[in-house]
């Protein structure tokens, strides 16, 4: 079955590190955008789906009535399995009772809440709109509304973050008892305000070893508290791994709707325009359409699959590509170097390999 991704490109304020396709000050476009999205949904092939992910931007800045129209159209058009995982991203400070009631009524059963840190000073430095207290209130609202599958997004390598402040963030987050935690390192993208903060010397970038130390701290703390790492940056209690994201890492099909959304269907990848006005005027053309070659698919099988702790299956590689994985890729050197292991028919990174995973994954391109 397919995964469906819906992009909602609006935010209340631009975070200082953000280079996603998300717009602020375009409230007047929310309804026309919803109209266009509903039209695109209605014109899409009526695929069977077992995961839906509404991301952004901040989907919960949309008025309840817009969320309802999008969810109604989704449920009408697509054959969504009754057991589907249906996620919406949300930010603290953008939730209210009406919106949560609409999300629940139309089958949303998982919320991914962007917390990033529980230090108000760190949150301020990266331009988040909320405080730590609002994260706590947000989770309480979600629980009261009946959500029993909550992800919390965290970040490491934040300006001024220390082991102690990270430890405090982790402690605070665990008190909220989320089922899933994602934790990514801050990436300083050129063109963002935070890039200037670092360039001007306002903040000092962490070196590789300091960055890895914070990552290891997160892994250790979460492991001790019942969260298994199942992907380099994702941790879950048993049974709460994100099924939608696993589709990406396993190379399964997904249909992306909305401005800047990407799709991968039957070996073809394409994207929608990132120009919101163009999209609103029915700009639903497939851009940068690319049919993946066998070589592309083999590379992606490795690059995405090795992100997961279970790694990649030797038998599945053979079945998909009619070749032995070892003939195509020189995995032995990684095994000999202690960067990978081979167990139960699968190749996977060791902890030592995860530390240098970016460099190793480049070798599969
Ligand atoms: S909330 Fe997310 S999408 Fe919106 S500006 Fe911040 S990082 Fe970007």
Pocket test of ligand 1: the residue of 12, 16, 19, 20 to mutate, having most ligand atoms within 8 Å of its CB, is 20
Distance 364 CA to ligand 1 centre (A): 31
What pLDDT is stored for residue 126 in this prediction? 97
Cβ–Cβ < 8 Å for 109, 147: yes
For residues 150 and 142, give the distance between their C-alpha atoms in angstroms, rounded to a whole number.
8
Domains of the chain, first to last: 2-248 (3.20.20.70), 306-365 (no CATH)
Task: Confirm or reject: Cβ of 298 under 6 Å from ligand 1.
Answer: no
Average pLDDT, the chain: 97
Length of the chain: 365
Q: Is 147 helix (H, G, I), strand (E, B) or coil?
A: coil
For residues 97 and 203, give the distance between their C-alpha atoms in angstroms, rounded to a whole number.
39
- 207 DSSP 8-state letter: P
Q: Strand 287-291's sheet: what is its strand order?
A: 228-231, 234-236, 180-185, 150-156, 110-116, 79-90, 48-56, 2-8, 254-257, 262-265, 268-271, 287-291
Q: Whose Cα sits closest to atom 2 in ligand 1? A: 57
Residue 128 pLDDT grade (very low, low, confident, very high; cuts 50, 70, 90):
very high
Distance 57 CA to ligand 1 centre (A): 5
Residue 94 pLDDT grade (very low, low, confident, very high; cuts 50, 70, 90):
very high
Chain segment 250-296, per-residue pLDDT in tens = 999 999 999 999 999 999 999 999 999 999 999 999 999 999 999 99
């Amino acid at each position: 079955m397919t995964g469906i991704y819906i992009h909602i490109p609006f935010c209340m304020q631009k975070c200082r590190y953000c280079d996603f396709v998300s717009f602020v000050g375009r409230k007047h476009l929310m309804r026309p955008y919803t109209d266009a999205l509903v039209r695109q949904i209605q014109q899409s092939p009526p695929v069977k789906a077992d995961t839906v992910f509404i991301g952004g931007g901040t989907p919960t800045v949309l008025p309840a009535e817009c969320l309802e129209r999008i969810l109604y159209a989704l449920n009408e058009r697509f054959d969504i399995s009754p057991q589907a995982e249906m996620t919406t991203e949300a930010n603290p400070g953008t939730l209210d009772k009406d919106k949560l009631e609409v999300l629940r009524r139309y089958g949303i059963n998982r919320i991914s809440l962007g917390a990033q840190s529980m230090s108000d000073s760190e949150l301020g430095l990266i331009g988040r709109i909320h405080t730590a207290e609002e994260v706590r209130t947000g989770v309480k609202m979600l629980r009261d509304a009946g959500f029993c599958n909550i992800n919390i997004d965290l970040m490491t390598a934040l300006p001024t973050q220390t082991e102690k402040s990270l430890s405090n963030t982790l402690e605070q987050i665990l008190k909220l008892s989320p089922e899933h935690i994602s934790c990514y390192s801050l990436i300083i993208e050129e063109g963002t305000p935070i890039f200037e903060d670092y360039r001007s010397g306002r903040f000092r970038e962490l070196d590789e070893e300091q960055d890895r130390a914070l990552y290891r701290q997160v892994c250790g703390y979460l492991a001790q508290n019942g969260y298994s790492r199942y992907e380099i940056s994702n941790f879950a209690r048993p049974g709460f791994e994100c099924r939608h994201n696993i589709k990406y890492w396993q190379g399964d099909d997904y249909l992306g709707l909305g401005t800047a959304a990407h799709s991968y269907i039957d070996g073809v990848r394409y994207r929608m325009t990132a120009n919101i006005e163009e999209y609103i005027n029915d700009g639903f053309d497939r851009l940068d359409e690319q049919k993946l070659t066998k070589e592309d698919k083999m590379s992606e099988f490795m690059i995405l699959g090795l992100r997961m702790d279970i790694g990649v299956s030797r038998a599945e590689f053979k079945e998909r590509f009619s070749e032995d994985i070892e003939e195509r890729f020189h995995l032995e050197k990684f095994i000999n170097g202690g960067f990978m292991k081979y167990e139960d028919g699968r190749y996977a990174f060791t902890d030592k390999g995860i530390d240098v995973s970016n460099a190793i994954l480049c070798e599969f391109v």
